[in-house]
Amino acid sequence: MDSTPTPSGSRFSHGLRTAWGADVAVAERLDSVFRSWAGPRAVDYSFPPVVSVGSMHTCDYFRSFPHLGTFVAPVARERLGELATTLSDARSDAAEPASAEPGTVEPCQLEPAQLDAAEFMLAPSACYAAFDHFAGQTVPSPFEITLVSPCFRREESYAEGTRQWHFTMREIVCFGESDVVAQFLSAQSDVIRAKLDAAGLPFTHRAATDPFFRADDPKLVLQKLAPVKHEFLDDEGVALSSVNFHRNFFGERFDIRLPTGEPAFSGCVGFGIERWQTACVRAFGVDPAHWPDVLSP
């Protein structure tokens, strides 16, 4: 089938979204807005989009969400020579060459026996790489960083713009004493609330399930007594941003300490770029020139 590329748009398949043209520019614009909300004290960091399996095990991720992980496994060295032939056979089995349309990509897959053990996984949230990076270090209080990262979570079902296998997250992370982190999260919550009000975007604010604990985890009992995660949801119930208080969980697990020698408390604020983009386009249209000034960088 002949097709001509359009100057702007997106394509969505298997939970993966491809965007181009103005669609990319809108996402970049929103990220610039969220970066400005972080303020000048936040230090910009850039991490690889993978985290070690050992690091994620350290923070009990696999006790909570093993089903969401996407693992990075290299081809076993002893199987390298057979790989091209094996995949060619799989392609031949999928469709006869005479029946395949030009430009058709036939399905192929690697079998587990062809792969080495996975030592890394694609990051399910932006902030995990930060805790791994600062492991064994002493940080000042307060210490704020910000980063934007591709994130990956395997879900049972997907929807473009709201629930994707691959999505983009801007985060602001704060380390410090408990009261310092609590003040940071409160101030960030006030900023988000004020910006949503100024933009005229309908939203609700609610306590939510902690991203680090399973529903059957006994720690959830403590969370219900003192919620550690709050979400800002749009008018369709989709979480645009979350505000998370980690207590000293990561400080203890990764031995991140304050100058006093005590484990650091931490918290983060997350902005789902695609979700914000979907909500803003639905409310204000595709042209950011017509969006409220509060959503300008």
pLDDT of residue 221: 46
- Whether 220 has a pLDDT exceeding 80, the answer reads no
Domains of the chain, residue spans: 9-60+123-295, 77-114
Higher-scoring residue by pLDDT: 3, 62? 62
Tokens found for residue 212: 């680090």
| 38, HSE (Cβ side, Cα atoms, 13 Å) | 27
pLDDT of residue 209: 64
Higher-scoring residue by pLDDT: 95, 148? 148
Mean pLDDT for the chain overall: 89
pLDDT one-digit tens code per residue, 235-261: 999 999 999 999 999 999 999 999 999
- Whether 43 has a pLDDT exceeding 80, the answer reads yes
Percent of the chain with pLDDT over 90: 74
- Residue 241 near residue 269 (C-beta atoms within 8 A): yes
DSSP string, 46-100: ---SEEEHHHHHHTTHHHH-GGG--EE-PBPGGGHHHHHHHHHHHHHHHS-GGGS
The CATH architecture annotation of domain 9-60+123-295 reads 2-Layer Sandwich (3.30)
- Burial class of residue 93 in the structure, from the number of CB atoms within 10 Å of its CB (0-12 exposed, 13-18 middle, 19+ buried): exposed
| CA 124/CA 137 separation, integer angstroms | 23
Tokens found for residue 156: 């049972």
Q: Give the closest residue to 120 by CA, choosing from 181, 167, 55, 68.
A: 55
